[in-house]
Chains A and B, each alone.
Chain A
């Protein structure tokens, strides 16, 4: 096996492992829910991404075939992680924050959580 390819794959695995560890550690270390939200959504997503790249390289270089699975997993990961985080944040705000606690949006409309969506008519 190509030693270079092996090294690259190993590098990706190690880096992704570090990201995963950091993400998990962040869950414990960070105090606030809103802060804690960053750990799994960003660090861990990167970590999983690294494993996926390593896996693709492994199949292309070592097995000599192309694997689509990783691409699909990436797609779903990129789709679900932000939406999940968005929902957790919304729920948190809904349960724990008052409208007055939040900074102003500096627009004619307030936060979506507390204000109805703007109507279709253009702003006056």
Chain B
């Protein structure tokens, strides 16, 4: 670790932290907002500048923070020449784009949002280029897909923007998915997910049998990102974004991510036939195709978009050639492409901004109207064409040089000819850009009278144009060292011989270049007839195909979902039960069952009676379930018998829970049944009932067999551990409660959350029920026949009032002693809810509700929060989540009770249970009132004491 290494993570995190600022600073005005957006970028750039000298000397700066070491994921960063080049480009361009966007965006665009997205994207890109861990790289990779989605779709009101953003996300996200697979394979081969390790294992990786799958998957990721054929179609559609976004994404960052990855992986993956043929061929096709389409595009930005596709193809081809010279040329061209393409995009944006159109056919003669913009655009377009004295010329010469020596499938001609063709076409569209937009006569039918924009707007492209010239004239002085160190990082060893200068003498490349320029001029002169031919020719429309594909896959997944998930809960249950029984049967068949070690116990008479009751009640439920009230009574019987069973088997906690759950359930079900039909109609045919019967019997037999198998054998369970550690580890003698709040506290925490969600879901269902067709049925049903005049009888009201304090005391008692004796938060919650339920039943919900001030929603929330905070409190003591601490409290008057973190946790459980039950009751009450139930003013229908009082007041 060198001294500067600690700066790397800070550089990586800065844009993300900075992304919080623009949203706030926009209140201070647009200029302030832009300034504060620039601040983190400048800061990061300065830090990069601090690190740069070391990197230029050939050092590699590394920083490592463990994140999830078990997965091999660490937040480790490293900065070598390639990383420095890209980081510099991303940050520098980010700065220029910030400036440009300040003037480009109109007053109606939410600028704070734009800058936030921009910084997020910048952070993601920066992360890619300085990640050392490939898993971390994948995270940043996906982040670029997501943030570019936000940026491309920034103009949400434009359908093109939304569609373009979706398309970009689908294509690059899909590619990212493939890349995850490729990277994992790569990491597996190398035995490490650290790039620095992987880069040293090139030979092992190339020799591995998994090399080809990994290569293809990674290439899919890189090609989708870099818009290589056949994935190139998303890039032109992404042009619906504001121009600053296009300039940033498509010159320096997003699309270069794929190229960066190819360059990064170059030492590891290149040098094989597969690499050469896949990568260079794709690059060549993309280069020629992109340039060809670009010539016939009338939209300025579309022309530039396809020229970007073409140049990315060029870069891909160079990296695909596999020679060190070509790789260094690629690095050089990355710099050149950035300078001229970003400036061109910005100029196109200026033209659009001033003339209110980007249609080349409506433009022309702008050189006289906006000389500064024209100068910038012409300089950079000449560079794009590859004219001497501009930087594009240098890298194009070197590219042609590299191409001229390449043999493709035994042919010496294919690559040089195609490369020359690509160069020729690129000359053609560059010249078209210059002559059809800026040259020619001044027209009088521009949608808006164009003139040069303010300085702030042309400063950024002007700055880049100066660079284009400087690099073009003095390449070795300006970028020589950077190309050397970045190229060295790509090729991973000795640099090949190359020279950055304008005149190399008359060689093959120069001849090819001259052919390209002459041919390009011819194409430009013939543009009109060629354009007519092109427009008439049938072409596949990528967007139509893409939309058809997306629709088809949406239809397919819809079909699968509808068939698997059709809303019939009996179907899910049937599938689940049959699958479980089948699996259990397979396990029983497969494994040998040890012989039974425990003898059968005698059956006492009392137990036999209970068993008969249980069985009879169960059978009756099955036969009588169509009569709902009777079935409910029988379910109550079953519940009571189960509780008795728990008591008999010495499980008082479970018995208490069972009884209280049973009571609450039956009460709520009774209330709900009021609004439902009293009978279940016979709906399913006989064969289905038979089928269901067979499934049920099969499952029952299987469960019985399983229970018997366990009960008749000795086996060691976790119970022994719980019994041994309950008091020493959890501070409680009630093992059940200690398990709930301590050993399995996480489970309980999850369960109370689920319970809370269930309560809220019932509430939500009730709300939607009261707005749907069911609400109309409810309103139209006449319940008056069932309704007594005597809804709140005196006797019931008085008795429940008297019971209330007793029940509450019982609840508190059960709650307090829970840790050591049967009880606990769950049971206490149920007991208190029963106490309250009684009040609600006696005097009506609305009357009772008006007398308490606690929101049940909030109670659920507080319960979860209290339990969660209790668990988190363990962190303060440096222990894991939910570790309990405990002590004992001896208040005078009542027996000693344990007070620990478990106690607070139990309080959370208590609150959630109470809140959920009461919310369910509240939901039912809402339905009742909707169905026409009136709200009573008095607690009971007839209050004799009032009558006595009235008689006394009124006199005899």
Contact = CB atoms under 8 A, between A and B. Distances in A.
A87 B795 CA distance: 10
A83 B789 contact: no
A90 B790 contact: yes
A121 interface: yes
Interface string A84-116: 001100100010000000000000000011111
Given A82-B795, A87-B796, A121 B950 contact: yes
A121 B803 contact: no
Contact of A112 (B799, B942, B950, B951): B942
A35 B454 CA distance: 101
A84 B667 CA distance: 14
B950 A122 contact: yes
B803 A79 contact: yes
A86 B950 contact: no
Contacts of A116: 789, 941
Contacts of B793: 86-87, 90, 112
A120 interface: yes
Given A112-B793, A121-B950, A83 B788 contact: no
A121 B941 CA distance: 15
A121 B947 CA distance: 7
Interface string A52-63: 000000000000
B53 to A, nearest CB: 87
A120 B947 contact: yes
A113 B950 CA distance: 23
Contact of A94 (B786, B947, B954): B786
B796 A113 contact: no
Nearest to B950: A120
B946 interface: yes
Contact of A90 (B788, B942, B949): B788
A120 B795 contact: no
A4 interface: no
Contacts of A120: 946-947, 949-950
Contact of A113 (B789, B802, B946, B947): B789
A95 B606 CA distance: 38
A120 B803 CA distance: 27
Given A83-B796, A122-B954, A117 B941 contact: yes
A114 B803 CA distance: 28
B947 A115 contact: no
Contacts of A118: 942, 947
Nearest to B800: A83
Interface string A64-96: 000000000000000100110011001000100
Interface in B783-813: 786, 788-790, 793, 795-796, 799, 802-803
Contacts of B803: 79
Nearest to B949: A120
Nearest to B953: A122
Contacts of B786: 94
A122 B951 contact: yes
A116 B947 CA distance: 14
A35 to B, nearest CB: 20
B313 to A, nearest CB: 84
B656 to A, nearest CB: 16
Nearest to A86: B795
A121 B954 contact: yes
A2 to B, nearest CB: 28
Contacts of A94: 786, 788
B381 to A, nearest CB: 92
Contacts of A122: 947, 950-951, 954
Contacts of A87: 793, 796
Given A82-B795, A86-B795, A112 B954 contact: no
B390 to A, nearest CB: 97
Interface string B801-843: 0110000000000000000000000000000000000000000
B434 to A, nearest CB: 94
A90 B941 CA distance: 14
Contacts of B799: 79, 83
Contacts of B954: 121-122
Contacts of A82: 795
A122 B948 CA distance: 9
B416 to A, nearest CB: 99
A113 B941 CA distance: 11
A115 B786 CA distance: 15
Interface string B867-903: 0000000000000000000000000000000000000
B532 to A, nearest CB: 89
A122 B950 CA distance: 6
A112 B941 contact: yes
- Output the residue of B786, B790, B793, B951 with the most chain A CB within 10 A: B790
Most chain B CB neighbours (cut-off 10 Å) among A83, A86, A117: A117
Contact of B942 (A83, A86, A114, A117): A117
A83 B950 contact: no
Contacts of A112: 789-790, 793, 941-942
Nearest to A94: B788
A79 B802 CA distance: 10
22 contacts: A79-B802, A83-B795, A83-B796, A86-B795, A87-B796, A90-B793, A94-B786, A94-B788, A112-B790, A112-B941, A113-B789, A113-B790, A116-B789, A117-B789, A117-B941, A117-B942, A118-B942, A120-B947, A121-B950, A121-B954, A122-B951, A122-B954
